[in-house]
Structure 1
């Protein structure tokens, strides 16, 4: 028995806040994309299928897939550049993992310093093959956060046109 979706099935959109980004209500998470075994053409098809369903927002983090997911997604965008204008890219930063992909990381820890935030965004933009992120999130609460340093990094990134909106992930509302 096969099931087909209604032809008019579309994921609705949501405005996150006044002057905030508008995203699809369902956000496609790319965390495990390295495990999907998709060739670049299949990744393009996956993105196109999401768009057909109205899912236009794609969630990334610099650390996903041992720092490899953003490059895989970026390969698809480079193969089909017109996709970038139809999607919202969300990424996260603020965690440093110990991994062969980052041999300079001697210990796993949070790093929400302004310098790390800016560096992470620049790497994400290169890997994704785009000039801006629609949303950047601080991945997890860091007990050593310097809010002024973070705000300064956010302002630099916004002024440079590299990030349009900012927020947090995995924080309680009291944090």
Structure 2
């Protein structure tokens, strides 16, 4: 089956598949099984896979790459988002053993090359700086990103967990447009809808990639059961579908980065993407998790 390769982070890319928990699925650590899983997602029209160099201590990128090396045809269709810039305490080779951020030019340049090799791909679709670094020298970072893009190593760039003034500082110092900001947003984390963060994404035309879109998978523990049951009956959506439908309805259509690799959970999320909640229900769910009515 021939599939068209999409470009950009558009409404036609309804869902991003997060690879952070790949190690939670031991059966998928075998290249053949992971390749089957990737192929099944491509058949569902899902071709965006989200990685970071720290996921699984680097093993998640390698395992994904092993599957692509075993089945090179998948590498032509899969699009990879990956991130760099965080050093976990157990990976700190200094005597201090402290979690910290690294955005030095040489470090990011090496991180991009390392990701390409580990993932067995010719181009990173979207490269993100994983966290804002107070020590970041923005001119050096801009040069590295621009060089990677001009060399074809990276198609587009973005940021992760940046606040508006942080991403604007980077955007103002590079000729490359920022495609997206990946940060937390869900029914369980609604603060950015009320502090101007949403409007900043819209004004700056940054696509919001929403991590933890299911709020840790415990919405049933946060929404009264009678409300949840009524919402299920009215919409035909399960808990996952309701959470994704609620998120997708926000202006700009934030793209969920789904942490679950369970095919059933992915299908529920897709059903949520295709659904529109009645506005009163959208607010009732919001009210339930915030435990307060809107002003």
Please, what TM-score do these two structures have when normalized by structure 2? Answer: 0.50
Provide structure 2 residue ranges, at least 5 long, that are not aligned to the other structure. 1-5, 167-295
SS in 2 for 1:68: helix
1:168, 1:63 → 2: CA distance? 16
Calculate the TM-score normalised by the size of structure 1. Answer: 0.83
**SS of residue paired to 2:45:** coil
Provide the rounded CA distance (Å) in 1 between the counterparts of 2:22 and 2:61.
9
Instruction: Select the structure with the greater relative contact order (CA < 8 A; seq sep ≥ 6).
Output: 1
Q: Is the 8 A contact 1:135 1:167 kept in 2?
A: yes
Instruction: Give a deviation string over 1:115-169, Cα, whole Å, max 9, x none.
Output: 1111111111111112210110000111111110110100121122111100101
For the 8 Å contact 1:15–1:23, the answer to whether it is kept is no
Query: Larger % of strand: which?
Result: 1
The CA distance in 2 between the partners of 1:16 and 1:78, in whole Å, is 26
**Aligned residue runs from structure 1 range 100-119, under 5 A:** 102=91, 104=93, 106-119=97-110
Equivalent positions of 1:94-173 (< 5 A) are 94-99=85-90, 102=91, 104=93, 106-173=97-164
Q: Does 1:31 align with 2:20?
A: yes
| 8 Å Cα contact 2:92/2:98 also seen in 1 | no
Cα separation, partners in 2 of 1:166 and 1:78, compared to 1, 3 Å: same
Largest Rg, 1 or 2: 2
Q: Deviations over 1:17-47 (max 9, x none)?
A: 7xxxx87220000001122102211100110
RMSD over aligned CA atoms reads: 1.9
> What's the CA shift string for 1:66-119, capped at 9, x where partnerless?
1110000000000110111112111000111233xx463543210011111111
Q: Which residue of 2 aligns with 1:16?
A: 9
Q: Secondary structure at the match of 1:24?
A: coil
How many aligned positions are there? Answer: 157
Residues 131, 162 of structure 2: 8 Å contact kept: yes
